[in-house]
DNA sequence: ACGCGATGCATAGGGAGACTATGTATTGAT
DNA sequence: ATCAATACATAGTCTCCCTATGCATCGCGT
């Protein structure tokens, strides 16, 4: 009935999905608000961007990004100015405060993660591998196609 | 001002947080409803459990687990019976259908993940490493302590 | 046997984060 | 000058999670 994947494959994939979900929840619980920081991080990496560009880079819908940017702007972490070359578009850029918040948050995450991994005798190389695996999984167009044909019931 | 973590550490940690968030979102978008499957998976692994036990294992609050179990029960994927030895408690167990849904979902995830990793020349060992890293990060009490003293502003 | 803190769960209320559908204003190309 | 395409905003809704409470039951000490 089911495909002939190895037991290990099934277990590892399931664990990956479950652990990532728990990790994300855990991060949210500590009010580390990853959603906003993702945007700050994108701006830091790419420089000023429009809302739609940000949405594409973060792989979310445009309305979701609009809301995220609005929140960040209200908090003073980004500036949202009209584009000088396109009246429809806006240019979102990091403010000093946004930059500081990003740095602080990055530091907090890195500290916690580094500490934890060391406590488990995990190397930075292991972390790099994990990040690469996650990046590869997100690459094409995330998990679409996972349900092709066999769409499982909604849980 | 900030701690003396290496640039690599900062970048990797940030990427881990960001990628896991995107992956979870991507999984949700495909209506793979990880939340319910996590419960099914726990029941499959540990056998029948009470609501509070499930909540502890999944590291969520008891009310959250109550709601999850209620949904699953309504969908017929789990059975919720009163405990024979403790009138306060209930016993949640997998139904045949729940077991099938779990297997189907696991299979879908494993297929998608395996395929993607192979496309990027990533080995199963890499996947195992990633899973281990995530597990280690979740171990003590997730990310608590990340904000000790320096609690960053909410984004 | 009784009282009471501890335990197991349900309910109420609310918030973050996402999505789809849709509307509006510009742009750019015909 | 039109008109499809593009950039955003808004409305409405969903899932998942949390805290704060309330309630019934258990089990222990006296």
Q: Mean pLDDT, 10 residues at a time, over chain A (155 residues)?
A: 76 96 93 89 97 97 98 96 96 97 94 93 96 92 42 33
**Terminal CA-CA length for chain B:** 21
Q: What are phi and psi of B93, to 5 degrees?
A: -140, 155
Complex ipTM, two decimals?
Answer: 0.88
Which is more confident, B153 or B22? B22
A87 CB below 7 A from strand C atoms? yes
A34 CB below 7 A from strand D atoms? no
The answer for residues whose C-beta is within 8 angstroms of residue B93's C-beta and 6 or more apart is B43, B47, B48, B78, B79, B81
Beta-strand (E) ranges in A19-98?
78-82, 90-94
Rounded distance between C-alpha atoms, residue A93 and residue A43, angstroms: 6
Rounded distance between C-alpha atoms, residue B135 and residue B87, angstroms: 35
Which nucleotide comes closest to B60 if you measure CA to C1'? Answer: D17
The answer for residues whose C-beta is within 8 angstroms of residue B84's C-beta and 6 or more apart is B91
> Could you tell me which residues are beta bridge partners of residue B91?
B81
Q: How far is B84 from chain A (nearest CA, A)?
A: 28
pLDDT digits (tens, 9 = 90+) for B95-139: 999 999 999 999 999 999 999 999 999 999 999 999 999 999 998
A16 vs B111, B127, B155: nearest CB? B127
Q: Categorize the per-residue pLDDT at B154 as very low, low, confident or very high, splitting at 50, 70 and 90.
A: very low
Alpha helices in chain B (DSSP H): 7-29, 34-46, 51-58, 62-74, 96-119, 124-138
A82 CB below 7 A from strand C atoms? no
The answer to whether the beta carbons of residues A20 and B20 sit under 8 Å apart is: yes
B72 CB below 7 A from strand C atoms? no
The answer to whether the beta carbons of residues A5 and B111 sit under 8 Å apart is: yes
The answer to whether the beta carbons of residues B19 and A38 sit under 8 Å apart is: no
Q: Express as a percent the part of chain B with pLDDT over 70.
A: 88
Which is more confident, B25 or B155? B25
Q: Categorize the per-residue pLDDT at B5 as very low, low, confident or very high, splitting at 50, 70 and 90.
A: confident
> Could you tell me which residues are beta bridge partners of residue B78?
B94
Per-residue exposure over A12-32, b if at least 16 CB sit within 10 Å of its own CB, e if not = bbbbbbbbbbbbbbbbeebeb
Collapsing DSSP to helix, strand or coil, B119 comes out as helix
Average pLDDT, chain B: 88
Interface A:B, Cβ pairs < 8 A:
300
A27 vs B17, B23, B59: nearest CB? B17
Q: Categorize the per-residue pLDDT at B1 as very low, low, confident or very high, splitting at 50, 70 and 90.
A: low
The per-residue pLDDT for B139 is 82
Instruction: Give the distance from CA B36 to its chain's centroid.
Output: 9
The Å distance, CA of B84 to C1' of C18, is 41
Is the pLDDT at B140 greater than 50, yes or no? yes
Burial class (CB in 10 A: 0-12, 13-18, 19+), A88: exposed
- The β-bridge relationship of strands A78-82 and A90-94 is antiparallel
Is the pLDDT at B147 greater than 60, yes or no? no
Lowest mean pLDDT among A48-57, B7-16, B136-145: B136-145
The per-residue pLDDT for A6 is 86
Rounded distance between C-alpha atoms, residue A83 and residue A90, angstroms: 5
pLDDT digits (tens, 9 = 90+) for B83-94: 999 999 999 999
């Amino acid at each position: 009935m089911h495909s002939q994947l190895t037991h290990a494959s099934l277990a590892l994939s399931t664990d990956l999905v479950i652990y990532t979900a728990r990790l994300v929840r855990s991060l949210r619980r500590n009010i580390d608000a990853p959603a906003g920081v993702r945007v700050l991080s994108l701006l830091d990496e790419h420089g000023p961007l429009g809302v739609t560009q940000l949405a594409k880079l973060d792989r979310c819908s445009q309305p979701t990004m609009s809301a995220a940017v609005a929140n960040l702007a209200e908090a003073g972490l980004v500036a949202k100015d009209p584009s000088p070359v396109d009246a429809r578009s806006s240019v979102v850029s990091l403010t000093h405060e946004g930059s500081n918040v990003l740095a602080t948050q990055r530091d907090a995450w890195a500290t916690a993660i580094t500490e934890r991994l060391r406590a488990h005798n995990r190397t930075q190389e292991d972390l790099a591998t994990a990040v690469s695996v996650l990046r590869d999984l997100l690459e094409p167009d995330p998990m679409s196609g996972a349900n092709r044909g066999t769409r499982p019931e909604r849980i």
